[in-house]
Amino acid sequence: MGYKVVIVGATGNVGREMLNILAEREFPVDEIAALASRRSLGTEVSFGDRTLKTQDLATFDFTGWDMALFAIGSDATKEYAPKAAGAGCVVIDNSSLYRYDPDVPLVVPEVNADAVLGYAKKNIIANPNCSTAQMVVALKPLHDRARIKRVVVSTYQSVSGAGKEGMDELWDQTKAVYNPVSDVPPSKFTKQIAFNVIPHIDVFMEDGSTKEEWKMVAETKKILDPKIKLTATCVRVPVFVGHSEALNIEFEEFLDEDEARDILREAPGIMVIDKREDGGYITPVECVGDFATYISRIRQDSTLDNGLNLWCVSDNLRKGAALNAVQIAEVLGQKALKKG
């Protein structure tokens, strides 16, 4: 027996990627439903070699379905996730709505897979923010070895993190730069994104940080260790897909860069590409479509007694969203539902 799986938001970037990854990883599916808003009703989406027509989320009955992977905004999730969960269907939610709820596990399977078992309180599991997900995959094996005290992270986040509108805006503005009669003013972003970088993701908070930066702090504490101090600067860059992060990590004890490299090479979900030569590192363009979180530029920080620097890159539509949700579904199946 396999699972009856629902994809909510199947016509969006992340929803389509969820369908692709379920097929690629040969997730044991008996039946699958693709849901979307009424305006997208009947839109065709691919699932392996099959074509699915989207059904109306507003009228769908979740009774008898095993799990629903949600890839819609927080407002719609607030309305429909409790309906699905109340009907006995376990919700794996990609929005930020439930991430900080103490009764909802926030899970990155390489880091805290056992937390999935806490799903039963609300029948909901939360997927973390894309920038957090790849970072904690890198931090976990190093934390197990030398205990992390503090992390300083600067992110270089692609426009796909802002959805299709963000990707369209970068595309249209880039073309407009070369066409003197065309003008594409900022709409999705606060300033021009083409040939520019914007140190602003999500809304500003009272202390001057943005909510994206706050998310990275709060989620790292919940997923990995509440004792870790973390400060973040999150920047949107003119890259279509793939988030990059420069990490400065301070440990409680000394960790040699060579040992760190060996630890990361053996860690689940990580690929180390770290040669000290031209091109001996990974960039976002090269990680698109891959499952792994890539680590490069591992080196000691000579300004700290116990410090390391590294570069972390991942496909944000995959590990940052759709892949992590499917991995949660796999763990949920293995540890709790036990079908398939």
Please tell me which residue in 89, 130, 234, 312 is annotated as part of the active site. Answer: 130
* pLDDT score, position 245: 98
Assigned token pair, 234: 């999150």
179 assigned binding-site residue: no
Q: Would the pLDDT of 329 be above 90? A: yes
* pLDDT score, position 181: 82
38 assigned binding-site residue: no
11 assigned binding-site residue: yes
- What is the share, in percent, of the chain residues with pLDDT greater than 70? 100
* pLDDT score, position 180: 81
300 assigned binding-site residue: no
* pLDDT score, position 193: 98
Q: Would the pLDDT of 152 be above 80? A: yes
Mean pLDDT of 33-53: 93
* pLDDT score, position 182: 86
Helix/strand/coil (H, E, C) string of the chain?
CCEEEEEECCCCHHHHHHHHHHHHCCCCEEEEEEEECHHHCCCEEEECCEEEECEEHHHCCCCCCCEEEECCCHHHHHHHHHHHHHCCCEEEECCCCCCCCCCCCECCHHHHHHHHHHHHHCCEEECCCHHHHHHHHHHHHHHHHHCEEEEEEEEEECHHHHHHHHHHHHHHHHHHHCCCCCCCCCCCCCCCCCCCCECCCCCECCCCCEHHHHHHHHHHHHHCCCCCEEEEEEEECCCCCCEEEEEEEEECCCCCHHHHHHHHHHCCCEEECCCCCCCCCCCHHHHCCCCCEEEEEEEECCCCCCEEEEEEEECCCHHHHHHHHHHHHHHHHHHHHCCC
* pLDDT score, position 269: 97
130 is catalytic: yes
From the centroid of its chain, how far is CA 12? 15
For residue range 97-141, list pLDDT tens digits in order. 999 999 999 999 999 999 999 999 999 999 999 999 999 999 999
Task: Give 245 or 41, the one with higher predicted confidence.
Answer: 245
Cross-strand pairs, 310? 247
Q: Would the pLDDT of 226 be above 80? A: yes
For residue range 295-307, list pLDDT tens digits in order. 999 999 999 999 9
Alpha-carbon span 340 to 91, nearest angstrom: 18
Domains of the chain (ranges plus CATH)?
1-126+320-334 (3.40.50.720), 129-157+196-312 (3.30.360.10)
Q: Would the pLDDT of 238 be above 70? A: yes
Mean pLDDT of 84-105: 97
* pLDDT score, position 339: 80
Please tell me which residue in 89, 143, 243, 312 is annotated as part of the active site. Answer: 243
312 is catalytic: no
Report the chain's C-alpha Rg in angstroms: 20
* pLDDT score, position 42: 84
* pLDDT score, position 340: 61
**Residue 144's CB: how many other CB atoms inside 10 A?**
11
Mean pLDDT of 227-254: 98
99 assigned binding-site residue: yes
Q: Would the pLDDT of 199 be above 90? A: yes
161 assigned binding-site residue: yes
14 assigned binding-site residue: yes
Mean pLDDT of 144-168: 97
Q: Mean of the per-residue pLDDT values for the chain? A: 96
